[in-house]
Amino acid sequence: MLTKPEWPPFIIDEHRVNPKGVKMSTTVQHVLGAEDGEVVNLLALGVRFMIDGEATGGNFSVVEHPLPPRALGAPLHTHRNEDEYSYVLEGRVGVQLGETVLEASVGELVFKPRGVTHAFWNAGDEPARLLEIISPAGFENYFREMAPLLAESDRDQSAIGEVVARYELDIDFDTIPILAERHSLRLA
């Protein structure tokens, strides 16, 4: 006989052992609804937090990036510590990876290894969405910290610089107008 599960049915408390042998207790959400998850915006780039690093022992995190038509997701930047994997869920996504410019469509995966300069944008006239896997985890919190700073009308460049430095990200904001012109992007 089936019994009614406790609400919510997809939250359980798991006990895991991290690589150092320390037992951790983590609340894990096994099903995330299509409208669930914290959402922030970094200018045109949306960020929906799907799996945080705390749930994976720091191994990886997953965010969803919706992008409006012809919008820049990020200017040229380089991660020192993370690899990123972008799976296109909707639309067409342009990517500059080093000196190579690529375009990925629905069902395609783009690998952006740490140490390689890259940028990305919506290459089409329809909305685009990517599923971004970040490994190891931790960088997802960059979006949480940067969103309120970029939302300010009078941006605190010093605070932005501190966040960028803390996540060991080399980012070239001067490439924004260059990428916009080169790829016919609309800037907010």
> Per-residue pLDDT tens for 152-161?
999 999 999 9
Average pLDDT over residues 118-140: 97
Q: Is the pLDDT of residue 151 over 90?
A: yes
Q: What is the DSSP letter of 186?
A: P
Average pLDDT over residues 64-82: 97
User: Which amino acid is present at 45?
Assistant: L
Tokens of 159: 């605070």
Average pLDDT over residues 62-85: 97
**Closest listed residue to residue 71, CA positions, set 108, 38, 41:** 41
- Are 66 and 114 spatial neighbours (Cβ–Cβ below 8 Å)? no
CATH number of 34-182: 2.60.120.10
- Are 141 and 168 spatial neighbours (Cβ–Cβ below 8 Å)? no
